[in-house]
């Protein structure tokens, strides 16, 4: 049934977001999801998940490591067959992408 598939997809996205919240930016002690670095999460029917993300700065010295951390965190979810993390810089990240909780935590509100 279609609503079941949508509910399952929503539940999976919720699990993926929870996994992404375990990955923290090493320069800003905040998880990458609430920091606004995740632009797209797209689970596929075959268990593959495509994720588009960015970095707070293009020259981030741990860029490759963060991509691996994201892949490892999401791959640990039951039913995930593979994860493709794509690094994008368009649109560029800025602090407006952070959740209000993060802005408050960092003294920006």
Q: Name the one residue in this structure whose structure tokens are 């670095």.
A: 37
Q: What is the residue whose two structure tokens read 């977001």?
A: 17
The answer, yes or no, to whether residue 6 has pLDDT greater than 90, is no
69-94 tens-digit pLDDT: 999 999 999 989 999 999 999 998 98
- Give this prediction's pTM: 0.88
pLDDT for residue 109: 75
* 55 close to 63: Cβ distance less than 8 angstroms: yes
């Amino acid at each position: 049934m279609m609503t079941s598939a949508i509910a399952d997809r929503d539940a999976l996205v919720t699990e993926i977001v929870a996994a992404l919240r375990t990955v923290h930016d090493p320069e800003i002690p905040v998880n990458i999801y609430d920091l606004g670095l995740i632009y797209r999460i797209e689970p596929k029917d075959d268990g593959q998940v495509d994720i588009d993300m960015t970095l707070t700065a293009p020259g981030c010295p741990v860029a490759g490591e963060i991509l691996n951390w994201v892949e490892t965190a999401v791959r640990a979810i039951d039913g995930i067959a593979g994860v493709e993390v794509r690094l994008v810089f368009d649109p560029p990240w800025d602090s407006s992408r952070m959740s209000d909780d993060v802005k408050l935590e960092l003294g920006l509100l």
